[in-house]
């Protein structure tokens, strides 16, 4: 499997063709751009954003390799994701960027590279581990979910799990995963094994988010929303953020896992409204 990814790296100079798939709602003066996490699509947010569309313009984006966006045969590095996002968002005036998980990491990367476009940021369930090795240790130490820890830290097993999920279990997923909205679960198969696995390793595990966090101008108001039961994005990452960026606000949601926007939509929307002018 590693040889296959090496081949992808030799193809990383191939041209990415934007734009990414987007959906737009509302007609307000303030623009909010939403980026979903790994496997997420526009439907992660779509049915829950109505309270925001009354006074804001909403842009939902499918990340490169996911949903209805292009799925090129490349290495899905942070730079490639940002290149595709830039091709889609470059014409927008200053906006608030809202990201969940993988989308939160890419929001950080985008704001560090194009701060003139960013007014505010909302980072939900930001998954920062420190390094690839630290990510492995974090997932493998969870004695209550050893199988998951083994799969998400072994590239070959992750690829196999991705293929089985898409080709065998795909249409049954909404009935197998009952603790998430059906439309969100149904879209978990809208990617390829390379876009999913490569994004996990290249962005979540290997991307140095801290260096970009330190580059983001202090004038940008940043809110981090995290669930106190999140076992995917470590809580210790928030301590690191507070240490280096004490001006960033952190809102911890009680009895919430890795999906604050799905579990406590009303509170998340209230927090978003408070940070947007």
Q: Is 26 left (phi over 0), alpha (psi -120 to 50) or beta?
A: left
The predicted pLDDT at position 241 comes to 87
Q: What is the pLDDT of residues 43-62, one digit of tens each?
A: 999 999 999 998 999 999 99
The predicted pLDDT at position 143 comes to 65
User: What distance in Å separates the CA atoms of residue 164 and residue 149, rounded to the nearest whole number?
Assistant: 18
The predicted pLDDT at position 18 comes to 65
Q: What's domain 2-275's architecture?
A: 3-Layer(aba) Sandwich (3.40)
Under 8 Å between Cβ of 30 and 96: yes
User: In whole angstroms, how large is the CA radius of gyration of the chain?
Assistant: 18
User: What distance in Å separates the CA atoms of residue 269 and residue 58, rounded to the nearest whole number?
Assistant: 13
**174: number of CA atoms within 13 Å, CB side?**
7
Closest among 207, 201, 202, 250 to 230, alpha carbons compared: 250
The predicted pLDDT at position 9 comes to 47
The predicted pLDDT at position 3 comes to 47
Domain locations in the chain as residue ranges: 2-275
The predicted pLDDT at position 144 comes to 67
Q: Which residues of the chain have pLDDT under 50?
A: 1-14
Under 8 Å between Cβ of 182 and 46: no
Query: What torsion, rounded to 10 degrees, do the Cα atoms 110, 113, 117, 123 define?
Result: 30
Q: Is the pTM of this model over 0.75?
A: yes
Closest among 101, 123, 128 to 36, alpha carbons compared: 101
The predicted pLDDT at position 41 comes to 98
Under 8 Å between Cβ of 124 and 261: yes
DSSP string computed for 262-275: HHSHHHHHHHHHHH
């Amino acid at each position: 499997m590693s040889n296959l990814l090496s081949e992808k790296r030799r193809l990383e100079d191939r041209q990415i063709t934007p734009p990414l798939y987007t959906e737009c709602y509302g007609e307000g003066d303030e623009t909010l751009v939403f980026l979903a996490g790994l496997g997420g699509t526009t439907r992660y947010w779509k049915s829950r954003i109505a309270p925001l569309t009354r006074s804001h313009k909403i842009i939902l984006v499918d990340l490169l390799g996911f949903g209805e966006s292009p799925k090129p045969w490349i290495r899905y590095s942070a730079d490639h994701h940002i290149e595709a996002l830039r091709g889609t968002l470059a014409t927008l005036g200053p906006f608030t960027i809202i990201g969940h998980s993988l989308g939160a990491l890419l929001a950080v990367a985008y704001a560090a590279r194009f701060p003139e476009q960013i007014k505010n940021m909302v980072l939900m369930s930001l998954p920062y581990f420190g390094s690839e090795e630290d990510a492995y240790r974090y997932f493998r130490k969870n004695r209550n979910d050893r199988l998951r820890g083994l799969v998400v830290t072994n590239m070959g097993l992750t690829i196999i799990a991705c293929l089985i999920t898409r080709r065998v279990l795909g249409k049954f997923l909404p009935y197998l995963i009952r603790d998430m909205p059906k439309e969100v679960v149904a879209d978990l198969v809208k990617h390829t094994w390379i876009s999913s696995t490569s994004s996990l390793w290249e962005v979540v595990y290997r991307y140095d988010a801290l260096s970009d966090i330190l580059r983001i101008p202090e004038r940008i108001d940043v809110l981090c929303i995290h669930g106190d039961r999140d076992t995917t994005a470590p809580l210790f990452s928030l301590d690191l953020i507070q240490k280096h960026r004490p001006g960033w606000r952190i809102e911890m949601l009680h009895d919430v896992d890795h999906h604050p926007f799905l579990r406590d939509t009303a509170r998340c929307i209230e927090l978003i409204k408070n940070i947007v002018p």
